[in-house]
Amino acid sequence: MSDSADIKGPVVFTRHGVARGIRTALPLVIGTFPFGLVAGVISDQKGLSWLETLLMSALVFAGSSQLLALELWAEPAPILAAIIAAIVVNSRMAPMGAALAPWLDKLRGLPLWGSLAFMVDHAFALSAAEQRRGGRDAGYLLGIGVTLWCFWNISVSVGHVLGSAVRLPPGHPLYFAAIATFVAILVPLWRGVRRDFWPWLLAGVLAVLAWKAGLGPPWPLLIGAFAGAGLGAWLELRRE
Amino acid sequence: MTLRPDVLLAIIGMAVATYLCRAGGYALFRALRPPRYVEVILQHLPGPIFMAYAMPALAAHGWKGWVAAVAVVAVQYFSRNLAAAILVGVGAMAGLGAFEAWFLAR
């Protein structure tokens, strides 16, 4: 049985769903805030003004690609390198939108293309879990995305203004909050040993091997994710 | 309050590229209606994508990362509370780091 068949009744997009997304997203800020501070501090060190920093956060809204672009930053701005950094790091989000098709197919216009504009990893994962539980209010995705966007802009701005005063030393336990967020999100995504054990194991092992082999982002992520999802699909289709 | 044209151009270029990544995958899906096996692969993607994200990051943290991750999963499983799980993970990392420092200094 495919997951799209789990959705009963029509998919809706309501203020109530957006509000539920906002409430769900608030704890995630513990994980994103330290990274926003880091992005702001580095942006300041690379010579970007506060306005330029805020514009980048608000328009790009993808932390790891912003950090990679800032690593490469020079005077004048490396336009092509920054664009390539964005494509390389953010290509992982292309299949995420497609995976939310059971909701997105029922939307059109601004709710559809606007929700996608605010989609980030956390919003995708929690929406996929919600969709599997039979949730059918697609406003949830936008609520999570917009909340993370607001706090992302705040944290990057604060990092830029306060500079090194708020810079946590490398290895500070607070940096673990981002990883802990994704580990915790795995729990609601788990659908049982029969469906998920081998695909998840393969994804994790291949990603670690690719990382140990020295491959940079996004390769360990993409190799692990598609190998695991491919195995899961193969096992499911074979059972039918 | 400076806004230089080259910086603005780089930011707009990044923003457009990122939006195409965010929306482009679904736009292709909506337009092309790929075969069913592609759809099944995509429905299996969420778990593996976050495993592939988290496992190398945990490996980089060594044994402390794995222990803290077990604590995060346990708290999330029993409490269904993301904030609690994240804070326990950070607390576990801090505690294990202090333990390691004490153990090595003995």
Q: What pLDDT score does A2 carry?
A: 43
Residues A170 and A216 both lie in one domain: no
What span, in angstroms and rounded, lies between the C-alpha atoms of A149 and A168?
A: 22
Number of folded domains that form chain A: 2
Residues A215 and A174 both lie in one domain: no
Domain that holds residue A170: 8-189
Distance from CA of A15 to the nearest CA of B (A): 22
Residues A215 and A157 both lie in one domain: no
Chain B contact set for A182 (CB, 8 A) = 50, 53-54, 57
Residues A52 and A118 both lie in one domain: yes
The three-state secondary structure class of A40 is helix
Nearest CA in chain A to B13: A83
Residues A135 and A224 both lie in one domain: no
The tens place of each residue's pLDDT in chain A, 240 residues long, gives: 344 445 567 899 999 999 999 999 999 998 888 889 888 988 998 899 999 999 999 999 998 899 889 888 888 999 998 998 899 889 889 999 999 999 999 999 999 999 999 999 999 999 999 999 999 999 999 999 999 999 999 999 999 999 867 677 777 888 888 889 889 989 999 989 999 999 999 999 999 999 999 988 778 989 999 999 999 999 999 988
Residues A113 and A149 both lie in one domain: yes
Residues A119 and A204 both lie in one domain: no
Q: Is residue A1 part of a domain?
A: no
ipTM of the complex: 0.88
Distance from CA of B34 to the nearest CA of A (A): 10
Residues A118 and A232 both lie in one domain: no
Instruction: Please identify, among A169, A189, A209, the residue that sits at the C-terminal boundary of a domain.
Output: A189
3-state helix, strand, coil in chain B (%, to 5): 90, 0, 10
Instruction: Please identify, among A153, A172, A189, the residue that sits at the C-terminal boundary of a domain.
Output: A189
Instruction: Please identify, among A189, A217, A232, the residue that sits at the C-terminal boundary of a domain.
Output: A189
Is A221–B53 a contact, with Cβ atoms under 8 angstroms apart?
A: yes
The reported pTM is 0.85
Token digits of residue B65: 């990362």
Please list, in sequence order, all residues whose beta carbon lies within 8 angstroms of the beta carbon of residue B106, skipping any fewer than 6 positions away. none
Q: Is residue A2 part of a domain?
A: no
Pick the residue of B3, B4, B14 with the most A CBs within 10 A to test the interface with A by mutation: B14
